[in-house]
Chain A
Amino acid sequence: MLDISVTTLQIAKVVALAGEIDGSTAPQAQEQVLALVEPGARILLDMSKVTYMSSAGLRMLLVAYRTITGKSGRVILVGLSDDLKDTMSVTGFLDFFACSDTLDAGVANLA
């Protein structure tokens, strides 16, 4: 199960993901994130309530990254757990992303 909600925080769109991102939930997450991508978009992906991410989840993040940066936008991952951070680091996915611990720090990084 994955809950997705979209809010706005100052200049940024915040996509809060809660639950597990795997082969069955990643497509829907991807669809919602990509719907927000307009030129120059500033997006925070709030990962603090993500409990598990499969290989499909990692790919969803990278597709989002490539789409957002392709339109001169920026994306920051917020509140990754240590476990997820490790997995992303070891598999090379983390190399692409800026990370922040909190939404406020994320907005500051986007400014």
Chain B
Amino acid sequence: MDRVDIYPTHEYQGYKFRPGKPFPFGATSVSGGVNFSIYSSHATDCTLVLFEKGQPEPKVEIPFPDAFRIGNVWSMIVFDLDYENTEYGYRIDGPFNPTDGQRFDGSRIMLDPYARAIGGRDIWGVKPDWNNIYQHRGRLVYDDFDWNEDHPLETPMEDLVIYEMHVRSFTRHPSSGVKYPGTFAGIRQKIPYLKSLGVNCIELMPIYEFDEFENSRIDPDTGEQLYNYWGYSTLGFFAPKSGYAATGKLGMQVDELKALVKELHRNGIEVFLDVVFNHTAEGNENGPYISFKGIDNKTYYMLTPGGYYFNFSGTGNTLNCNNPVVRNMVLDCLRYWASEYHIDGFRFDLASILGRDPWGAPLSNPPLLESLAFDPILAKCKLIAEAWDAGGLYQVGSFPAYGRWAEWNGKYRDSVRRFLKGDAGLVGDMAQRLAGSPDLYATRGPTASINFITAHDGFTLNDLVSYNDKHNEANGEGNRDGANDNASWNCGWEGPTDDPGINALRQRQIKNALAMLLVSQGVPMILMGDEIGRTQLGNNNAYNHDSELTWLDWRLATTNAGLLRFTSILISFRHAHPVLRNRWHLSGQDHVGSGYPDISWHGTQAWQPDWSPAGRTLAFMLAGPNARGGAVQDNFIYVAMNMHWESHWFEPPQLPTGLRWHVAANTGVPAPEDAWAIGAEPILEDRGGVLVGDRSVVILIGK
């Protein structure tokens, strides 16, 4: 039996069509044709515009008959379209009255907010034709990827080690040796590296289609082409960036990204996306018409009473996330990525904006955040908030969590950086950070805390120990952009040096940072390349450079092989010891009658931590019998951190009879004795203690 709706009922200039289905929104393949569906709360008229792929003028413009509208949704099934060579958009008519927030302009062609692929920037860096009347074009996508047995990995949050990366930067450098540098395919070729490093989750900086030429310009001093390189400026929330796919020129970016996710999953690596729902690429009233602005400006954007754009994102506009219509779009979008792309988790850029009402006021119970937390499709996805925005809302520790949301822990970053550089008075604060920040996440557990010392925003770890100040001149903004407060220390010289003493200290500080990160309760996140000393030459905001400044130089894996080895051993140490990865906060109590509290704090003397304002040393012990509340058995682990500029003798606590301390890591000694592979840890000969060198971390294991 054929369905009756596979037959056209209407014809226009040779194109056959019939009334469509309002659900689902976007362009969807149906028997014999394509169902187009789009909504607007304030439009009066709608026309479907079809192009032959890449052609300057439309091949047909089909006005929606009145009968094709249900509520605020226009839908139409068009038959016999060439799926691969069709591009589509809409002309939408309605009032133009900016003071009332209405900016309809039927002379322009708008991109479908639900477009699943977007043409126009097919190959990275190919200069666009600015005379093109329709720059970013909706394309049709087969959502029929063959996943075999794959599904999201659902790795317990506490077991993750996250690696934050930029798709292009990861393999664009000629030294990467991959066949398709700077692409999803390039990442796939580097999976063995990620596995040997030991990370089990990669977090991709924005991969939704963006325009690298947005605000692009030539730096007048250097002649360098500057781009919108990071991509925190979305054109369409449902489309992967074509220029990140080796097959983007063939229109196969959807399949390429899915194939990457599938292969990462096969290797035990989860995939998180950094998603930017706080604003779009359309800027303010002076910005371009691309999509939302011409489809339903008043619905999609937060507007002042005079019709101007609120700017809580620092980029010109603010998406109106708690408007019910926009909220549904965000939900549709995340459901799409979770179900169609098998994405394991999402990190929400400037997420505090998602908790503001349509007039900008923070909500105590934001419906969007609640909807995401309780959605059935997203039920096993990790949700991570960057819990602040550019409008002054800072919610680290107080982000509305609904038992689901984790946060980028900015306080972890700030405390560890200051402790690392030798500031006094941070010992008490560090105890909170190392324990998973129970002061911030008392009821949410340590897995609410994404611990990081560096991220794409700010210095790389190498630069954190090599520069006191940012050096952003190359960004072309007179070094005014980027954060001024970096809590960094250059170890005695600003920038690269031949001084062996300074370089040795920098190496040690990098190892100290990584060691503290990887023994902290919570979820560690490592910035791409920190494991091999990647530098951006002191630039702490390299958002517009597509050059060696931002590309990962794979030769560093050889130059800094010792650091790479140290990092991968520390990661494997974390994976080997569940006592480092508790789901719930430690209590300082003994739950299993082992004679030792689950976590205990120490100073240079056992059981005597130095909480004084002058303190720069801290040690703690995790009791293996209490690992995960006694549910699993593990070794004792003792970590001594000496951020003082002099060596100190540390006395670890006595172990139960029959156990001895062994050395797992000591950043104070050169490689390869700075870290020992699992099972190869040498016994600590002196039962009385261990000398912890100046600015060094020692990790002991009791077994």
Contacts and interface: CB of A to CB of B under 8 A. Distances in A.
Interface of A: 22-24, 54-56, 58-59, 62, 66, 86-87, 90-93, 95-96
Contacts of B263: 92
Interface string B78-94: 00001111000000000
21 contacts: A23-B82, A23-B83, A23-B84, A54-B250, A55-B84, A55-B251, A55-B255, A58-B255, A59-B142, A66-B146, A86-B246, A90-B188, A90-B246, A90-B247, A90-B252, A90-B256, A92-B146, A92-B255, A92-B258, A95-B259, A96-B146
Contacts of B184: 90
Contacts of B648: none
A23, A56, A92 pick with most chain B CB within 10 angstroms: A92
A86 B251 CA distance: 15
B665 to A, nearest CB: 39
B188, B247, B258 pick with most chain A CB within 10 angstroms: B247
B487 interface: no
B145 interface: yes
A56 B185 CA distance: 20
A58 B252 CA distance: 10
Nearest to A22: B84
Given A91-B259, A92-B258, A55 B146 contact: no
Contacts of A66: 146
A5 B250 CA distance: 27
Given A54-B251, A58-B255, A90-B180, 20 more contacts: A22-B84, A23-B82, A23-B84, A24-B82, A55-B84, A55-B250, A55-B251, A55-B255, A56-B83, A56-B84, A58-B252, A62-B146, A86-B179, A86-B246, A90-B185, A90-B259, A91-B247, A91-B252, A91-B256, A92-B256
Contacts of A23: 82-85
A87 B247 contact: yes
B686 interface: no
Contact of A59 (B82, B144, B250): B144
A54 B246 contact: no
B contact patch SS: loop
A56 B86 CA distance: 13
B342 interface: no
B602 interface: no
B687 to A, nearest CB: 56
Contacts of A95: 259
A24 B84 CA distance: 10
Interface string B180-198: 1001110010000000000
Interface in B212-265: 245-247, 250-252, 255-256, 258-259, 262-263
Contacts of B146: 62, 66, 92, 96
Q: Which 4 A-B residue pairs are closest in the complex by CB-CB distance?
A: A92-B259, A91-B255, A90-B185, A23-B84
Contacts of B180: 90
Nearest to A86: B179
Contacts of A55: 84, 142, 250-252, 255
A93 B142 CA distance: 14
Contacts of B258: 92
Nearest to A52: B250
Contacts of A54: 84, 250-251
A92 B145 contact: yes
A22 B179 CA distance: 25
A23 B140 CA distance: 12
Nearest to B245: A90
Interface string B566-580: 000000000000000
B64 to A, nearest CB: 26
Contacts of B144: 59
Contacts of A96: 146
A74 to B, nearest CB: 18
Contacts of B245: 90
Contacts of A87: 247, 250, 252
Contacts of B84: 22-23, 54-56
A65 B409 CA distance: 48
A71 to B, nearest CB: 18
A28 to B, nearest CB: 15
Contacts of A86: 179, 246
Nearest to B86: A23
A55 B84 CA distance: 8
A66 B245 CA distance: 26
Interface in B145-185: 145-146, 179-180, 183-185
A86 to B, nearest CB: 7
B83 A93 contact: no
A92 B188 CA distance: 11
A66 B148 CA distance: 11
A55 B185 CA distance: 17
A59 B255 CA distance: 11
Contacts of A59: 142, 144
A90 B263 CA distance: 10
A68 to B, nearest CB: 14
A88 B142 CA distance: 16
Nearest to A23: B84
